[in-house]
Amino acid sequence: MEDKGTFELIEVRGKSLIEDFLSFPCRLYKNDKKWVRPLDDDIEAIFDKTKNKNFRHGDAIRWLLKDSKNNTLGRVAAFYNEKTANKNRQATGGMGFFDCIDNQLAANTLFDSCFQWLKNKGMEAMDGPVNFGERDSFWGCLVDGFTDPIYNMPYNFPYYQKLFENFGFKNYFNQYTYGRKLTPGGLDPVIQEKADRIARNPDYTFKTISWKNNDKFAEDFMIIFNKAWATFPGVKKISKAHALGLLKKMKPIMDTRLVHYAYHKNEPIAFFIMMPDLYQIIKKFNGKFHFINKLRLVYNLRYRKTCTRIIGRIFGVIPEHQGKGLEAGLVKAFEKIVLKPGFHYQELQMNWIGDFNPSMMKVAEQIGAGILKTHITYRYLFDQSQPFSRAKVVN
């Protein structure tokens, strides 16, 4: 085991260190056939001040950990956003993109660098491993279900749990990934009855997205998201321009059959948005997304139909219509498409269902899904004498 004194922390600056930061996990996981290298562009966009709006109210830093022979032993990033930090009891920053050899002293050096930097920025706690961006990517430590990872969801060695908890991180909340095969049926009888009742009510209608009217669908997305999701801690409201930008960004990889909206008397009230699991294709890209790989991605998505797994990216019902069976109505509407000829997807995984949201957990179970994976979001209080509280249960 390396002596702590022989470790050297190096701030990531310049092209060669950035490349080392991106490529280190390749060497760490070289014997693990399940691990998939994320796209370098997806990670670098998070640390690009011109692309990540979180820099308007905060900052980020990255480090590499080297030994006396200049071998890389680990990496980590720390970041904070003053707007979201102060919504917690203690001003809370974040750390993430942590990868490390199985060495507690090495891990502690990385964790401590985040702690000291965030403390100097006025933070009183840190969450990790999390993302300096949206929650649906690069968030959580995998502790159960070490199967094939899905697009931009963390996959790590089992020993990471020990490294975090030995340092003093505590479980703030669990994130569950639910899954089910795309076969007819599987709905709980109670939810099935609600779905049938919704189907008989002409006030409720269901639509899949159309690019011919993407402006309308962007506005509907904004309305539903802001009512259904923006009330959760750490989730900000979005503008129509933001929603339109998200749809345009997803267009090259989007299968319109996987984007479902629900309406009540033509007013948007719910959505269920899925996407193909790109990791089934990009695992061969070695993190690179140049022109040729972009063509390979589109070709495999649209013509070879390589993706057989889809991911539930976001599911939301506005408060006024919760508990009425809309979730089952959306699933039943999707089931009709699943049964049509030419539908080649075989499996659905719904990631990022927090244990602080028992209502959503119940919905996943009622539509026939079971827990496949568990990620933990940890929190570390800088003043360890302060009482620790897990994430507040919603709904």
| pTM for the full predicted model | 0.90
User: What's residue 381's pLDDT?
Assistant: 98
**End-to-end CA, the chain:** 48
The confidence band for 205, taking pLDDT boundaries of 50, 70 and 90, is very high
- Residue (of 48, 51, 55, 95) closest to 74 by Cα position: 95
Whether 233 shows a pLDDT value over 70: the answer reads no
Whether 239 shows a pLDDT value over 80: the answer reads yes
CATH number of the structural domain 183-345: 3.40.630.30
Of all residues in the chain, what percent carry a pLDDT higher than 70?
96
Domain 4-173+377-381 has CATH 3.40.630: yes
Better pLDDT: 114 or 85: 114
Q: Do residues 155 and 139 make contact, with C-beta atoms less than 8 angstroms apart?
A: no
Q: What is the domain partition of the chain in residue ranges?
A: 4-173+377-381, 183-345
User: What's residue 313's pLDDT?
Assistant: 84
The helix-helix angle for 358-366 and 326-338 (nearest 10°) equals 40
Give per-residue pLDDT as tens, 304-359: 888 999 998 888 889 888 878 888 888 888 888 998 898 999 999 998 899 998 98
Q: Do domains 4-173+377-381 and 183-345 have the same CATH topology?
A: yes
Q: Cα(240)–Cα(137) distance, rounded to whole angstroms?
A: 22
* CA 154 to each of CA 5, 151, 157, 174, 335: distance values in angstroms, whole numbers, following the listed order: 30, 9, 10, 13, 29
Q: Cα(208)–Cα(199) distance, rounded to whole angstroms?
A: 16
